[in-house]
Structure 1
Amino acid sequence: MKKNIPSEVQVSGLEAHLGYWLRFVSNSVSAEFARKVAAEGVTVSEWVVMRVLFDHNEMQPKELATAIGMTKGPVSRLIDRLLAKKLIARRAHASDGRAQIVRLTPGGRALVPKLAALADANDAEFFAHFSEAEKHQLVKAMRKTVEVHGLSAVPVE
């Protein structure tokens, strides 16, 4: 039988780490948003693809992958899922027969503002207790961390 011997080494607790609290909040915010977009028939990853296409009109899959910080394989699977849901369309590139171009369908384009409103409402639900100045400071701190560490992948899920 092992005895419970006190350690002389000081070990920080989980709650002493900022990363713990960031993950704790992020998991809750993300899970609730995932539930909300699932009710609209899409995943968070699909929403990210649709939101990027909303701004770019049409893109090659490799450009889309770069824009969201994913590799070609996972983006291809997302494209296939969105094609099956008729939220995006694909066509051959005009000058490169091997390349494809993807774009939102009219139904996909109409869905993006609704999903964006869900994202806004989700943020409001979780962060309404902060003043605008506090929210600005949080975003500024997170953007600084992204910049300092050269982070580029868009949070997908």
Structure 2
Amino acid sequence: MKKTSQIEDHVGYWLRYVSNHVSHAFAQRVERQGVTVAEWVLLRELLDTGAVNPSHLAAKIGMTRGAVSKLVERLLQKDLVVRSHSENDRRYQTIDLSPSGKQIVPVLGRLADENDNEFFGHLTPDEKTSLFNLLQEIVRRNGWKNLPVD
């Protein structure tokens, strides 16, 4: 009879172990700035895209339109995004960073960099590149498109 493997024998166990610690630390960092990780993902995407329709944003970050709508409403309340309606069609709207949003995104980006450095700064450049390549290959091989937001 084959021996049952130990939990620690699985790569997935170690990925989850590291991911939980890295993600939790980052969530705490951004929450001190008044945003969630999901809100950070949306804000960061808006930095690159500029004013965009929420449906396009949902497709880009791999969330449902309903989930994006809820995030947008929270970010509107926090004055981190602005919503504009089309003059021709009031149903068509775009979302963009507000002046406050444009100020906070670089702050959150630095927190992401600090978090990465805390957990992966001890790796040599070659080790970090190898880790990136391995993880990206797993993502490609599985065809995953949704951005990690939780």
Cross-structure match for 2:11: 18
| Residue identity (%) | 45
Cross-structure match for 1:66: 59
Matching of residue 155 in structure 1 with residue 148 in structure 2: yes
> In the TM superposition, what is the alpha-carbon distance from 1:145 to its structure 2 partner?
0.8
Distance in 2 (alpha carbons) for counterparts of 1:95 and 1:139: 46
Distance in 1 (alpha carbons) for counterparts of 2:134 and 2:2: 32
Matches within 5 A, 1:116-127: 116-127=109-120
Deviations 1:114-153 (A, max 9, x none): 1000000000000111101100110011111111110100
Matches within 5 A, 1:48-63: 48-63=41-56
Distance in 1 (alpha carbons) for counterparts of 2:129 and 2:119: 15
Matching of residue 43 in structure 1 with residue 36 in structure 2: yes
RMSD: 1.1
Cross-structure match for 2:136: 143
Distance in 2 (alpha carbons) for counterparts of 1:117 and 1:82: 20
Matching of residue 27 in structure 1 with residue 20 in structure 2: yes
With over 3 angstroms needed to count, the CA separation of the structure-2 counterparts of 1:94 and 1:147, relative to structure 1, is farther
Q: How many residues are matched?
A: 150
Distance in 2 (alpha carbons) for counterparts of 1:94 and 1:27: 45
Distance in 2 (alpha carbons) for counterparts of 1:94 and 1:145: 45
Distance in 2 (alpha carbons) for counterparts of 1:93 and 1:10: 65
Aligned match for 2:75, one of 78, 82, 87 = 82
Cross-structure match for 2:107: 114
> In the TM superposition, what is the alpha-carbon distance from 1:93 to its structure 2 partner?
2.9
Partner of 2:96, secondary structure, is: strand
List gaps (5 residues or longer) in structure 1. Answer: 1-7
> In the TM superposition, what is the alpha-carbon distance from 1:53 to its structure 2 partner?
0.2
Partner of 2:94, secondary structure, is: strand
Deviations 1:65-101 (A, max 9, x none): 0111111111111000000000001011354431210
Bigger drift between 9-18 and 109-118 goes to: 9-18
When the two structures are superposed, what TM-score results if normalisation uses the length of structure 1? 0.92
> In the TM superposition, what is the alpha-carbon distance from 1:10 to its structure 2 partner?
2.5
**Which consecutive segments of 4 or more residues in structure 1 shift more than 2 A?**
93-97
Cross-structure match for 1:133: 126
Cross-structure match for 1:4: none
List gaps (5 residues or longer) in structure 2. Answer: none
